[in-house]
Amino acid sequence: MVAQNLIFGVIAVAMGIAAIRVVTTQNIVHAALYLVVVLAGVAAVYILLAAEFTAVVQILVYVGAILVLFLFGIMLTRAPIGRTSDLDNDQRWLALAVSLLLLGVLAGVLADAFDDTKLPADAAVQRSGEVGTSIFQVYVVPFEVISVLLLAALVGAVVIARRD
């Protein structure tokens, strides 16, 4: 338990610093790389919670695919080398308010849903089979709703990209 708490502390501090650097750094590629650190930190926390499947999927999807595409897009379109001065804008207070609001909502939802529930002391590693079964049987409707949402985003991206 002690070791887990310690490691969680280290990961949390690293994630916090990296998250702040994402918005303060003057180099857009560095910002993306700090985001990689944050997302990898999330995966590390999943491993601490004995959710290996979720952790590896986090790496595979966010670090391995989404951020690679971010970087790819940056390099294909602008590829700034060195500092870029126009990265900042004057909406930082608004951004702070929105992120605090989001934090409040998420924290509220989590606290409401789990309240005082503690993880069982002998929490076993979740088998990937169980994860699959619960996604495709118990939570199949939310899953399908989210896939339609992704489809909408996909179509939207094509529409925006192809104006011909």
Partner 1 sequence: MYSKREAVGSVTLAGDPLFGGGVDGAVVLIVLLKTGVAFAALMVSVLFMVWFERKVVSDMQNRIGPNRAGPWGTLQTLADGIKLFFKEDLLPEQADRRIFRLAPYLSIVPAFLAFAVVPLGGVITIAGRETRLQLADPPVGILFLLAMSSVAVYGVMLAGWSSGSKYPLLGSVRASAQMVSYEAALGLSMAAVVLVTGSLLTSDIVSEQSRSIVDWNLFRLGFLPFGIFLVAATAELNRPPFDLVEAEQELVGGFHTEYSSLRFALFFLAEFMSTVTMSAVMVTLFLGGPSGPGPDRGFPGAFLPVFWFLAKLMIFLFIYVWLRATLPRLRYDQLMDLGWKRLIPLSLFWLLVLAAMILDRRYGFAVFGAGILLGLLLLRAVQVGQSATDDAAGAAPAVREAG
Nearer to partner 1, 60 or 96 (CB): 60
- Angle 61-66-69 (CA atoms, 0-180°, nearest 5)? 140
Residue 129: CB minimum distance to partner 1, A: 8
Q: How is residue 16 written in tokens?
A: 């916090």
Residues 6+ apart with CB under 8 A from 164: none
Q: Which amino acid is it at 95? A: A
Query: Looking only at Cα atoms, what is the longest distance across the chain?
Result: 60
Pick from 7, 71, 84, 87: which binds partner 1 (CB under 8 A)?
71
Determine if 68 is a binding residue for partner 1 (CB under 8 A): yes
Could you give the CA distance from residue 72 to residue 84 in angstroms, rounded to a whole number? 17
Pick from 29, 31, 38, 39: which binds partner 1 (CB under 8 A)?
29
Residue 33: CB minimum distance to partner 1, A: 7
Residues engaged in binding partner 1 (CB under 8 A): 1-4, 27, 29, 33, 36, 50, 52-53, 55-57, 59-60, 63-65, 68-69, 71-72, 75-76, 79, 81-82, 121-125, 127-128
